Amino acid sequence: DLLINQIAAGEVVERPASALKELMENSLDAGSGEISVALQQGGVKSLRVADNGAGIDRDQLQLALSRHATSKIASLDDLESVRSLGFRGEALASIAAVSRLALTSRKQGERHAWRMEAAGGDISGLQPAALEAGTVAEMQDLYFNTPARRKFLKTEATEYGHCEETFRRMALSRADVSFGLQHNGRRIWQLPAASLAQRATALLGEEFAAAAVPVEEGAGGLRLHGLAGLPGFSRGSRDAQYVYVNGRFVRDKLIAHAVREAYRDIIHHDRHPAFVLFIELPPEMVDVNVHPTKIEVRFRESRAVHQLIYHALNKSLAAPIA
Ligand code: ADP
Ligand code: MG
């Protein structure tokens, strides 16, 4: 089983940033209002995510590190209606297979917390621990037991850069949640709960927010909302293009095409527009179980999605120019 977990881990845990994404998604799924991330050496030495969410009870904690243990869906039929970010129940097992992972958690109303540890897939016994309500997941020494994979890790600066981008994606996805990020003991971000415009100003800069127009449009169960940057204020070669489907950051060709066309029709010269867009639709209208990291999605009504994005953006971008 360890081998299977190590192989699967390669798909889910490509680098520290992918572990960070999974741990932060778990914190959001647990309904946390505050999430604090602390990294050492680009997340390779250690990567810690602390939240004030629902917590994991003692019995579940023992299960949480084993493969396909998810509390989020009970059967395959539930996949159709999944609203949580996670549902495959493989992230923690995958991380545990290729690092030293400690999970400490306390459910509301419990007298103390419980802690589980795993090193390269060996899970240790449950121990009482001290913690306020919530969960702390701490990953250390990524790939300590798979040297071949460790060789593919890049420099600390590069791995840190990926982690910070992951953090930015998560923090932009939920302006109503407060987020903190530390690297090597230095505070990088401290973001209080805010509006989307405030969060985008903090993360993407004053120039973006000052020149962005709101987008808001709904049709037939679909909704698009967010902020679209006007020309001249893009971040140059550094893309600031964030698209979320039901709260999940995605890269999708259909969406990218609709956005590009809408910009091209209004603003002829802007090659790197900046935007933060949220698409909301009933879960059964989108398949998120296409890729292990869930970054790709498949829409059931792809034409309708394309049209909504194109028209909504067109309208919003044209308004300030008219
Ligand atoms: P998934 O998110 O797909 O269910 P994971 O391996 O990421 O699978 O997590 C396994 C289970 O552990 C989750 O279903 C959840 O019950 C529990 N869990 C993990 N992290 C947290 C957290 N931060 N707060 C509360 N529960 C958590
Ligand atoms: Mg998960």
Whether 138 is in the pocket of ligand 1, judged by its Cβ within 6 Å, is no
CA 64 to CA 23: how far, in whole Å? 12
- 234: Cβ–Cβ under 8 A, 6 or more apart, which residues? 240, 270, 271, 272, 273, 274
Quote the DSSP letter at residue 15. Answer: S
Q: What is the pLDDT of residue 237?
A: 47
Q: What is the pLDDT of residue 5?
A: 67
Name residue, tokens 């527009």: 273
ipTM of the complex: 0.99
Instruction: Look up residue 147 and give its two tokens.
Output: 């040297």
Q: What is the pLDDT of residue 8?
A: 64
Interval between CA 71 and ligand 2 midpoint (Å): 10
Q: What is the pLDDT of residue 85?
A: 83
Interval between CA 64 and ligand 1 midpoint (Å): 6
How many alpha carbons lie under 13 Å from residue 78 in its C-beta half-sphere? 12
Instruction: Look up residue 258 and give its two tokens.
Output: 């609709």
Whether 241 is in the pocket of ligand 1, judged by its Cβ within 6 Å, is no
Q: What are phi and psi of 114, to 5 degrees?
A: -120, 150
Residue by residue, pLDDT tens for the chain (322 residues) are 666 666 666 667 889 999 999 999 999 999 999 999 999 999 999 999 999 999 999 989 988 888 777 887 777 677 677 788 877 788 999 999 999 999 999 998 899 999 999 998 888 889 999 999 999 999 999 999 999 889 999 999 999 999 999 999 999 999 999 999 999 999 999 999 999 999 999 999 888 888 899 999 998 889 999 999 887 655 554 578 999 999 999 998 999 999 999 988 887 665 678 899 999 999 888 887 777 777 788 898 899 999 999 999 999 998 876 5
* Ligand that lies nearest to the alpha carbon of residue 73, given by its number in the listed order: 1
Interval between CA 29 and ligand 1 midpoint (Å): 8
CA 214 from centre of chain: 23
Whether 92 is in the pocket of ligand 1, judged by its Cβ within 6 Å, is yes
